[in-house]
Amino acid sequence: MVQGKKPKLAVWKFASCDGCQLSLLDCEDELLAVADSIDIASFPEATRAFKKGPYDLSLVEGSITTPEDAERIHQIRRQSKFLITIGACATSGGIQALRNFKDVKEFISIVYAHPGYIQTLKHSTAIADHIRVDFELRGCPVDKMQLLEVINAFLNGRKPNTPAHSVCIECKLRGNVCVMVAHGTPCMGPVTHAGCNAICPSYNRGCYACFGPKETPNIPSMGNVLEDKGMERENIVRAFRSFNANTKAFQKGARDYEKD
């Protein structure tokens, strides 16, 4: 980065709910300080102002679902020194990737009266399936403190501190009683990427894996435990096939329990 010049930030949206970019505006205590130290060059949800690229850092929200977006992401990559995906849609294809396991034509006809007008790709895919990505931040939505950490790290040329271990570790660090061991509540925590600070178990609920798979998850073992807790096969398929359905690990988990 040029000395004395504020780094340029751009926020881009693809198929998504806007929640991950909203996380930035939800940093009520830090927002003005962030805006002081970076140049918000493009962030349509927050400002009419727009500055042309190149950008020092691009944050990308949402998944690729249309032919136009599959093109647009390449243009954004070309203008971005660093490009980070924020959230489950951009990092794994998101909840809309459920179409990947069904006939998308049938999907269109369920929602729209004139399916002919709809132009959409058969699959919803992660940004990294299309371009090189410098870092992927997980979560549906992302955790806002992790988002600040990642922005900070990239602007200062260091590696973000976002552990890749499981939600179980966060539960232990928080001192939670294990909902699965103590109450028999099915919980995806053992295979789910950390980052939320184990919110669901802290609210007496099993983790539902909105941060996607952790590094090296043991999927068959997870399936066995869920079965052991009395979960029906269809519900195990649903548990893997949700907000991060298109990840390799969860695809396998769902397939293992799907009826032929």
140 binds another protein (CB under 8 A): yes
Told to check if 65 binds another protein by CB under 8 A, we report: yes
Rg of the Cα atoms in the chain: 19
Pattern 143-162, binding to another protein, x per CB under 8 A? -x------------------
- Which lies closer to another protein via its Cβ, residue 31 or residue 169? 31
Site mask, another protein, residues 72-111, x = CB under 8 A? ----------------------xxx-xx--x-x-xxx-xx
Q: How does DSSP assign 235-248, residue by residue?
A: HHHHHHSSTTTTSH
Q: What's the closest the beta carbon of residue 220 comes to another protein, in angstroms? A: 23
State yes or no: residue 204 binds another protein (CB under 8 A): yes
DSSP SS3 for 85:
strand
One-letter amino acid of 104: V
Residue (of 73, 11, 9) closest to 41 by Cα position: 9
Count of residues in contact with another protein, rule CB under 8 A? 66
Report if residue 18 touches another protein, rule: CB under 8 A. yes
Q: How many CB atoms lie within 10 A of CB 86?
A: 31
Between 67 and 163, whose beta carbon lies closer to another protein? 67
The tokens describing 246, both together, are: 């298109």
Contact segment (CB under 8 A) with another protein among 2-10, 74-82, 146-154, 194-202 equals 194-202
The window from 39-47, 151-159, 186-194, 217-225 that contacts another protein (CB under 8 A) reads 39-47
The answer for residues whose C-beta is within 8 angstroms of residue 16's C-beta and 6 or more apart is 61, 62, 63, 87, 89, 90, 94
Residue 57 interacts with another protein (CB under 8 A): yes or no: no
- 205 interacts with another protein by CB under 8 A: yes
- Tokens 């709809």 locate to 118
Helix (H) / strand (E) element for 222: namely helix 219-228
HEC readout, 48-84: CCECCCCEEEEEEECEECCHHHHHHHHHHHHCEEEEE
**What is the torsional sign of CA 232, 235, 239, 241?**
positive
Stretch that binds another protein, among 24-32, 128-136, 211-219, 250-258 (CB under 8 A): 24-32
* Binding stretches for another protein (CB under 8 A): 13-20, 22-23, 25-26, 28-29, 31-32, 35, 40, 44-50, 65-69, 94-96, 98-99, 102, 104, 106-108, 110-114, 117-120, 124, 140-141, 144, 196, 199-200, 202-205, 208, 210, 235, 238, 242-243
